[in-house]
Amino acid sequence: MPTYRTKQLSVLTMNTVGFTACFAVWVMFSIIGIPIKTGLQLSDTQFGLLAATPILTGSLLRLPLGMMTDKFGGRPVFFWLMASIIIPLFLISKATEYWQFLLLGLFVGAAGASFSVGIAYTARWFSKETQGFAMGIFGAGNAGAALTKFVAPSIVVAWGWEMVPVVYAIGMTVVTILFWFFTYSEESHKVESSVTVREQLSALKDPAIWKYCQYYSLVFGGFVALSLWMTKYYVSTYGHDIQTAALLAAIFVLPSGLIRALGGWLSDRFGAHQVTWWVMWVSLICLFFMSYPQTNMLVIRTEGEPFAMHVGVNEYVFTALLFVVGIAWGFGKASVFKYLSDEYPKNIGVMSGIVGLAGGMGGFFLPIMFGALLDWTGLATTAFMLLFGVTLVSLMWMQYSGERDRDRARRKQFKPLDILE
């Protein structure tokens, strides 16, 4: 009979593996969408919609599946969620029309809802003092986006894009089976059966939850959006092939996913507000420079002679700034959920579903807006201009909400631990 500690670590491990696999599937169109765009002669807006379609269903399902996790437990909900996407994932390899890709993308997008299931399932197994770190480890499954950046381009080059969903369907089948055999259920983790849906949704009346939704729409929604967008950006802006572009995009994606565990630990140690505050400032500064388009100016000097000047960051500086933004958002994804575990310990499934829904919708709308702005202006950096504006709004909200004092008061009640217990 396994001990509680063994169950605890096994659940955390398989939750993280499952979420990694689901996230890799969720952003698959960021790679296979590029040859599909060429084959179907799609516009940038159409490409943005194609890449973002799975994000829509994954976002909309986060709230109901978070509620189901509170009611029925994480193990059965997570298992059936993964099992449900295997067939539509395989069928993508057979699609030939744009509408078929969009329709199947909606079904496969359910993989994105795994976050609200897994985060609540994980949090229930750990004490308040170590929840931030545990949820950070689980959230490192965001690195599934980097897995797609590494694996999918090689498959596309070797066998064509059609083989990517086939390989992913096989991999998801294996992960689903392993998940069932190496996870456990705990009756005490479920909410009382007498708790109604209306009572669960009453959390929406709390104005603080909308603020956390705003934060998460940037640190997670922006992460998903750029995960979908950056491979194409490097191809179209700098002329790289798909493999090189995907590797450059992984410089943003991989650290942002893996660093999340450290963000959870820092949030346990220093408080959710302190970490999120610095995340927003670092993001604002980096996005300001990334937003500036490549500009050639002709300046007339006092002598009347013209002087040519170029303004803009080169590819190397841009990639370095992108890397820093990825690290900052990795911390932010963990710190926002530390807010939730501190303030809503009894119904974290619902609250993670609400905030996860907001973050996912950011990941859905932002790539479409990136494409529309690019088609409208012809400026590649408009994507970063938009993200700069969202960051500025988040900072202003944080500054005037008075949450710093509340965060300090919470930290006095709990002494963070250095290890999981």
As to burial, measured by CB atoms within 10 angstroms (0-12 exposed, 13-18 middle, 19+ buried), residue 154 is middle
Q: Which CATH number fits the domain that encloses residue 381?
A: 1.20.1250.20
61's CB contacts (< 8 A; 6+ apart) are 110, 112, 113
Token pair for 87: 């067939």
Give pLDDT tens digits for 315-373: 899 999 999 999 999 899 888 878 877 777 766 667 777 887 888 888 888 988 998 89
77 part of a folded domain: yes
Q: How far apart are CA 202 and CA 216, in angstroms?
A: 20
Contact 366, 279 (CB under 8 A): no
Token pair for 326: 């990825």
Token pair for 116: 């609200």
Secondary structure letter of residue 125 according to DSSP: T
- What's the chain's length in residues? 421
Q: For the chain, what is the domain count? A: 1
Tell me what the mean pLDDT of segment 87-111 comes to. 94
Q: How confident is the model at residue 263 (pLDDT cuts 50, 70, 90)?
A: confident
Contact 104, 88 (CB under 8 A): yes
Closest C-alpha among 315, 294, 295 to residue 239: 315
Q: How confident is the model at residue 135 (pLDDT cuts 50, 70, 90)?
A: confident
The answer to whether residue 419 scores a pLDDT higher than 50 is: no
Secondary structure letter of residue 202 according to DSSP: G
The answer to whether residue 251 scores a pLDDT higher than 80 is: yes
The answer to whether residue 416 scores a pLDDT higher than 50 is: no
Tell me what the mean pLDDT of segment 148-165 comes to. 91
Q: How far apart are CA 228 and CA 363, in angstroms?
A: 9
Tell me what the mean pLDDT of segment 17-31 comes to. 92
Q: Across the chain, what does the average pLDDT equal? A: 84
Token pair for 392: 């500025």
Residues of the chain with pLDDT > 70, as a percent, come to 88
As to burial, measured by CB atoms within 10 angstroms (0-12 exposed, 13-18 middle, 19+ buried), residue 378 is exposed
What SS3 state is found at 111?
A: helix
Q: Which domain holds residue 208?
A: 7-183+199-413
Contact 134, 86 (CB under 8 A): no
Taking residue 39's Cβ as centre, other Cβ atoms within 10 Å add up to 10
Q: What is the pLDDT of residue 417?
A: 41
1-9 long-range Cβ contacts below 8 angstroms, 24+ apart? 2/184, 7/125, 7/184, 7/186, 8/125, 8/126, 8/420, 9/420
Q: Which pTM does this prediction carry?
A: 0.74
The answer to whether residue 420 scores a pLDDT higher than 60 is: no
Contact 369, 384 (CB under 8 A): no
Q: What is the pLDDT of residue 401?
A: 66
Q: How confident is the model at residue 156 (pLDDT cuts 50, 70, 90)?
A: very high
Nearest 5°: phi and psi at 252?
Answer: -85, -45
160 part of a folded domain: yes
The answer to whether residue 415 scores a pLDDT higher than 50 is: no
94 part of a folded domain: yes
Q: Dmax over Cα atoms in the chain, in whole Å? A: 88
Q: What is the pLDDT of residue 270?
A: 83
Q: What is the pLDDT of residue 421?
A: 41
394 part of a folded domain: yes
- What are the start-end ranges of the H helices in 344-381? 348-377
Secondary structure letter of residue 27 according to DSSP: T
Contact 346, 202 (CB under 8 A): no
Give pLDDT tens digits for 210-224: 888 889 999 988 988
Tell me what the mean pLDDT of segment 14-18 comes to. 94
Q: How confident is the model at residue 200 (pLDDT cuts 50, 70, 90)?
A: low
Q: How far apart are CA 95 and CA 110, in angstroms?
A: 19
399 part of a folded domain: yes
418 part of a folded domain: no
Q: How far apart are CA 19 and CA 59, in angstroms?
A: 14
Q: What is the pLDDT of residue 408?
A: 54
Contact 398, 276 (CB under 8 A): yes
306-311 and 295-300 beta bridge pairing: antiparallel
The answer to whether residue 413 scores a pLDDT higher than 90 is: no
Tell me what the mean pLDDT of segment 268-283 comes to. 88
Give pLDDT tens digits for 236-246: 888 888 888 88
Q: How confident is the model at residue 133 (pLDDT cuts 50, 70, 90)?
A: confident
